[in-house]
Amino acid sequence: MAEIQHKGWDWNAVRPGTWNEISEEFCPVALDWIGKYRSVLDIGTGRGRHALFFAEHGFQVRGIDLSESSVAFVRKQMEERGIDGMEVALGDMTELPYGRECFDCAICFHTIYHTNYDGVRRALQEIHRVLRDGGEAFITFNAKDHPCYDKEKSVDGFTMVKEEGLEEGIPHCYVDENDLFALLGDFDILSMNKISDYVRKGREAHGVHYYVHVAKK
């Protein structure tokens, strides 16, 4: 099996006005974290929508992304908004550049599946490592009944690599609930929901994802 190469998005090519607002699926958990926790790691920060939200609510925030265009965009947003207490840097979710038990909580939104199954497993181990005892994480996963998944064309039974468009060359790992229960053995699962998208923000959408809220055992 060929080695999977991790690759970041070119955020300069992403349609303006998208990925800028806190996600509706994560919002209830984010609001619960305010007043409860003080530090957060945003893995795959993208345009920084979640990292900036927490920074503006007084959190100590660290954001990482594989994409140089992501880091540049978020740093510009920090400067324009006068945000302190936040840092953003290049980094890979399977090798987080932080010590053990550094964060109260972590978010990995539409990011952890941009690898193969083993990469997902290693990323979860890293999230577990950097969370404090009892710390929480909110993570999204691609579901195997997503219309883009085809087991016969997959790399390892789980992973498809996009061949064209904005995500050309970027891997996508797909799991089912049994895979998730196995992968999340080191966490207490607080909630796990599967959502099918048909229309999102007035635009046609096609996707099936798990939205999972966990706490470190």
Residues 67-106 have pLDDT tens digits of 999 999 999 999 999 998 899 999 999 999 999 999 999 9
Q: 22-216 maps to which CATH number?
A: 3.40.50.150
**Which band of pLDDT confidence, cut at 50, 70 and 90, is reported for residue 57?**
very high
- Least confident piece of the model among 10-14, 19-23, 97-101, 212-216: 10-14
**Beta-carbon-side half-sphere exposure of residue 104 (alpha carbons within 13 Å):** 14
**Which band of pLDDT confidence, cut at 50, 70 and 90, is reported for residue 61?**
very high
Instruction: Give the amino acid at 76.
Output: K
**Which band of pLDDT confidence, cut at 50, 70 and 90, is reported for residue 3?**
low
Q: What is the pLDDT of residue 1?
A: 45
- How many whole angstroms separate alpha carbon 146 and alpha carbon 71? 29
Mean pLDDT to the nearest integer, 6-12: 79
Highest mean pLDDT among 2-11, 12-21, 35-44: 35-44
Is the model's pLDDT at 12 over the cut of 70? Answer: yes
- How many whole angstroms separate alpha carbon 135 and alpha carbon 40? 10
Residue indicated by tokens 């958990």: 29
The closest alpha carbon to 92, from 115, 61, 118, belongs to 115
Structure tokens at 66: 């594989």
Is the model's pLDDT at 51 over the cut of 80? Answer: yes
- How many whole angstroms separate alpha carbon 160 and alpha carbon 151? 8
Helices vs strands, H then E, count in the chain: 5, 9
Partnered with residue 210 across adjacent β-strands are: 141, 194
Is the model's pLDDT at 126 over the cut of 90? Answer: yes
**Beta-carbon-side half-sphere exposure of residue 193 (alpha carbons within 13 Å):** 9
- How many whole angstroms separate alpha carbon 34 and alpha carbon 172? 31
R_g (Cα) of the chain, nearest Å:
16
Q: What angle do CA 67, 52, 65 make, to 5 degrees?
A: 15
The residues near 193 (Cβ < 8 Å, ≥ 6 apart) are 25, 210, 211, 212
Is the model's pLDDT at 193 over the cut of 90? Answer: yes
